[in-house]
Amino acid sequence: MKVFKKIVDLQNELFLVRKEGKEIGLVPTMGALHEGHASLIKRSVKENGATVVSVFLNPTQFNDKGDLGRYPRTLEADCKLCEACGAQYVFAPSVEEMYPTPDTRHFEFPPQSTVMEGAKRPGHFNGVCQVVSRLFYIVKPNRAYFGEKDWQQIAVVKRLVNYIGYDRLVHIVECPIVRDEDGLAKSSRNTLLTPEERAIAPNIYKALKASVDYAKDHTVAETHDKVVADINAIDGLDVEYFEIVDGNTLLDVNNWNDSGYVVGCITVYCGHTPIRLIDHVKYKDPETK
């Protein structure tokens, strides 16, 4: 496996890969890789002739600089995981390499980019679009792999590829959430949790999962309130928001019959630091019919 820090070196290598007729998969990450990332990398390796894993902690998508400072940085371990999963290349540029001049481009794709995370973290999705569009331009992948834990991000990225005209060039591959045995969604932020915080964090998914059955006999509003109440009843957990939305538009649904694709999206503060954790659950999914 080769590690590249310079754009031109990676592009020269990928030129030779394409010359051999191989397709390229891209797994964009911010590092601190875990089993969830590993599942994306392994799928890319299976489906492409070459896989590039980008490891870049993108500053433009952090509206909270304290959050950026706390984010774990584990490049050496990340490279070992990538190699073990069969990736051929890691792209680990500096901020100066990715942004030799400030990126002043502005991306907005309402409603997908303006609700939930978009409303709570102003500028976050603009930063996501800046770095993802840069990576697509640099790597020119045939497929790009994103985990469903960052479910809203996938919806925004799909809008992005249409906007920049890459929809016929790169296929966005959605990969299922990987969870620990107790249900907690794998996340780089989990490493920041204290043992006590880690012990209570699974209650987030426990409440979401239980609400799927509850929803069968209760309204959207009742289901929403029960999830929030159940999680907030746990000392150390505090719901920032829980939205039950249409899976395509991301707009709120008021009745279960409003849409054939209904998803509950949640963000919870865990602990006293606190650590911000996200998750979601599908109430109605056309793919499973």
Model confidence pLDDT, tens digit, residues 38-76: 999 999 999 999 999 999 999 999 877 777 888 888 999
218 counts as catalytic: no
Rg, the chain, Cα only: 19
Residue 289, pLDDT > 60, answer no
d(CA 253, CA 237): 25
Q: pLDDT tens digits for 175-211?
A: 999 999 999 999 989 999 999 999 999 999 999 999 9
pLDDT at 48: 98
Distance of CA 96 to the CA centre of its chain: 24
Structure tokens at 213: 């059955």
Query: Which strands, in side-by-side order, build the sheet including 171-175?
Result: 2-4, 89-91, 50-55, 24-29, 143-147, 171-175
Count other Cβ atoms within 10 Å, centred on residue 200.
17
Residue 163, pLDDT > 60, answer yes
Query: What single string gives the DSSP state of each residue in 79-134?
Result: HHHHHHTT-SEEE---HHHH-SS--------TTTTTSTHHHHSTTHHHHHHHHHHH
Structure tokens at 100: 């030799």
CA angle 26, 32, 36 (to 5 degrees): 60
What is the bridge-based pairing of β-strands 89-91 and 143-147?
Answer: unpaired
pLDDT at 67: 79
Catalytic, out of 34, 37, 124, 280: 37
Identify which of 31, 58, 44, 277 has the alpha carbon closest to the alpha carbon of residue 149.
Answer: 277
Question: Against a cut of 0.75, is the pTM above it?
Answer: yes
Count other Cβ atoms within 10 Å, centred on residue 165.
8
